[in-house]
């Protein structure tokens, strides 16, 4: 079998083989200190070496971002100029999409075609945010003066919040970077971006494009390293005005507490345990295909994954069979091998977590139905349907972040809604059904930030995304995301 890395293009390999430093103040620094090694999860072998930024490096990055913000070299550009720079960045990302996709596939394990779709999505989102740069405005307001002889005129200005620390996970690294950079740059903020320790390459590659696009020095800085070192230094830095975090609920809570301690602004996009509710009149084949997509897309490593199937008891057996049939059509394999549609878990730790939770599920009475064969090398896990799962089971409550779908039957609509909401999370929910009234009742009753009706995993630039409860605070995408990066200045003029 061809070595996995040999399947990559010369351009991707050359980038991977470099000894990477940090990107601070428009300079690609050499690798000077602690080296962090990453792995290819398709094989478990060494992939790349990057630098781990310590508190001093993080301080240099934040200071560069702060200088860039304070002297106005970017935020005082015309909105049209910021739009042009963002459009240019999107264009460059599209130009280099295949290399980005290869890097993402190699360091995270996504099948190449899936990676390519993610990169295109990231470029599309940057383009969407570019459009907002020229449409950020306040309001005119009529205050009521106490003194009737006085006239007052009020208006609001929307101003960038300052230096933003953007901390992102590994599952869709390029997209997560774009979701943070897009609104930060559209609004005129400066950024220090920290990618996840296992997936630094696409962020470093993006730095090259930021430079080529012509963003002024210091507006975007990239620091690689581990969460408790590099991430923590960023979160604790007093000159960071806003923290935009995507990741696990446990880390999100800790970051929220620290941000609260010094009143830094913070948004948290966290985990989920999203239900997919099948209504009795749903088409069975469509429901099965949707359920498999909801649970197995990106090997289940996506925060919005639909991981709890809530199904009418009468449809249970037939639907489980149909989902397993759909799972059997997946081709499990290395990210760059032709035909692969289901890649490995992104790391050894992730694979072990899936195995541990499946073990617990079995011991609590769940019935495991895994499909396919696991390749010898790499961190592969089987797409698995688990039946006989009740709301009391660990697997019904804990996020797996792997290709695992639980199935729980219901008898009445009220029982079904109760099951959907029996979670501390509230990110997404799916509903499959045709009766309009019943669908609308379910949409209203389910506690979630995002609801997909007769579809799943639609992440459109124009639609706000984010969760309630333990799934986080704030929304990304859409017009709503701008609020996270803007302060309002209220101006009152007497005349």
Among 272, 333, 343, 402, binds ligand NAP (CB under 6 A): 272
φ, ψ for residue 56 (rounded to 5)?
Answer: -70, -45
- Catalytic status, residue 318: no
Active-site annotation holds for 303: yes
Stretch that binds ligand NAP, among 89-97, 109-117, 145-153, 263-271 (CB under 6 A): 263-271
Q: Which of 145, 228, 359, 365 binds ligand NAP (CB under 6 A)?
A: 228
C-beta closer to ligand NAP: residue 189 or 223: 223
In this structure, what token pair is assigned to residue 192?
Answer: 């220090």
Per CB under 6 A, the list member of 191, 303, 385, 439 interacting with ligand NAP is: 303
Stretch that binds ligand NAP, among 47-55, 147-155, 220-228, 324-332 (CB under 6 A): 220-228
Taking CB under 6 A as the rule, which mask of x and - marks residues 152-191 in contact with ligand NAP?
---------------xxxxx--------------------
We find the least distance from the C-beta atom of residue 441 to ligand NAP, in angstroms, to be 26
Which 187-216 residues touch ligand NAP, going by CB under 6 A? 194, 196-197
54 is a contact residue toward ligand NAP (CB under 6 A): no
Q: Among 122, 130, 133, 270, which residue interacts with ligand NAP (rule: CB under 6 A)?
A: 270
Q: What minimum distance in Å lies between the beta carbon of 303 and ligand NAP?
A: 3
Spatial distance between the Cα atoms of 109 and 122, rounded to a whole number of angstroms = 18
Using rule CB under 6 A, residue 269 touches ligand NAP: yes
Contact with ligand NAP (CB under 6 A) among 74, 100, 401, 410? 401
Q: Among 51, 202, 232, 326, which residue interacts with ligand NAP (rule: CB under 6 A)?
A: 232
Judged by CB under 6 A, how many residues of this single chain contact ligand NAP?
29
Name which of 400 and 439 has its Cβ closer to ligand NAP.
Answer: 400
User: Does 402 participate in binding ligand NAP (rule CB under 6 A)?
Assistant: no
CA angle at 149 for the pair 145 and 155, rounded to the nearest 5°: 40
Instruction: Tell me how far apart the alpha carbons of residues 150 and 33 are, in angstroms, rounded to a whole number.
Output: 64
Annotated active-site residue in 166, 189, 303, 420: 303
Query: Taking contact as CB under 6 A, which single stretch among the options 144-152, 226-234, 363-371, 484-492 is the one that binds ligand NAP?
Result: 226-234
Binding site for ligand NAP (CB under 6 A): 167-171, 194, 196-197, 226-228, 231-232, 235, 246-248, 251, 254-255, 269-272, 303, 399, 401, 427, 472
């Amino acid at each position: 079998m061809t070595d996995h890395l040999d399947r990559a293009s010369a351009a991707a390999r050359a980038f991977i083989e470099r000894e990477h430093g940090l990107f601070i103040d428009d300079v690609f620094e050499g690798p000077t200190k602690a080296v962090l090694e990453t792995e290819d999860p398709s094989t478990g072998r060494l992939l790349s070496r990057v630098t781990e930024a310590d508190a001093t490096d993080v301080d240099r990055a934040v200071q560069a971002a702060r200088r860039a913000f304070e002297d106005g070299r970017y935020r005082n550009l015309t909105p049209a100029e910021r739009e042009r720079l963002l459009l240019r960045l999107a264009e460059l990302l599209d130009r280099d999409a295949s290399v980005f996709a290869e890097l993402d596939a190699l360091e995270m394990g996504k099948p190449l075609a899936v990676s390519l779709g993610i990169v295109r999505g990231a470029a599309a989102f940057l383009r969407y945010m570019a459009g907002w740069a020229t449409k950020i405005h306040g309001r005119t307001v009529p205050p009521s003066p106490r003194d009737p002889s006085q006239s007052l005129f009020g208006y609001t200005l929307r101003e960038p919040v300052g230096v933003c620390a953007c901390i992102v996970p590994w599952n869709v690294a390029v997209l997560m970077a774009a979701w943070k950079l897009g609104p930060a740059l559209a609004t005129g903020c400066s950024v220090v971006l920290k990618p996840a320790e296992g997936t630094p390459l696409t962020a470093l590659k993006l730095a090259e494009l930021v430079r080529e696009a012509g963003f002024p020095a210091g507006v975007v800085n990239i620091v690689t390293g581990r969460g408790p070192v590099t991430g923590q230094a960023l979160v604790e830095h007093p000159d960071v005005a806003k923290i935009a975090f995507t990741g696990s609920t446990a880390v999100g809570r800790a970051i929220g507490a620290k941000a609260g301690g010094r009143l830094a602004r913070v948004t948290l996009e966290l985990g989920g345990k999203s239900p997919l509710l099948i209504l009795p009149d749903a088409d069975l084949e469509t429901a099965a295909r949707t359920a498999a997509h909801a649970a197995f897309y990106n090997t289940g490593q996506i925060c919005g994954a639909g991981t709890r199937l809530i199904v009418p008891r009468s449809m249970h057996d037939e639907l489980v069979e149909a989902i397993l049939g759909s799972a059997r059509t997946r081709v499990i394999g290395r990210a760059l091998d032709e035909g692969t549609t289901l890649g490995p878990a992104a790391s050894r730790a992730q694979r072990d977590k899936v195995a541990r939770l499946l073990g617990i599920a079995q011991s609590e009475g769940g019935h495991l139905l895994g499909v396919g064969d696991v390749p010898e090398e790499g961190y592969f896990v089987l797409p698995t349907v688990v039946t006989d799962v009740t709301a009391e089971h660990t697997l019904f409550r804990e996020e797996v972040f792997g290709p695992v779908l639980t199935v729980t039957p219901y008898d009445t609509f009220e029982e079904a809604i109760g099951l959907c909401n029996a979670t501390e999370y509230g990110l997404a929910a799916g509903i499959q059904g045709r009766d309009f009234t019943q669908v609308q009742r379910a949409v209203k009753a389910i506690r979630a930030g995002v609801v997909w009706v007769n579809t799943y995993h639609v992440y459109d630039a124009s639609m706000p995304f984010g969760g309630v409860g333990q799934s986080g605070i704030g929304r990304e995408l859409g017009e709503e995301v701008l609020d996270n990066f803007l302060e309002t200045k209220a101006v009152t003029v007497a005349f």
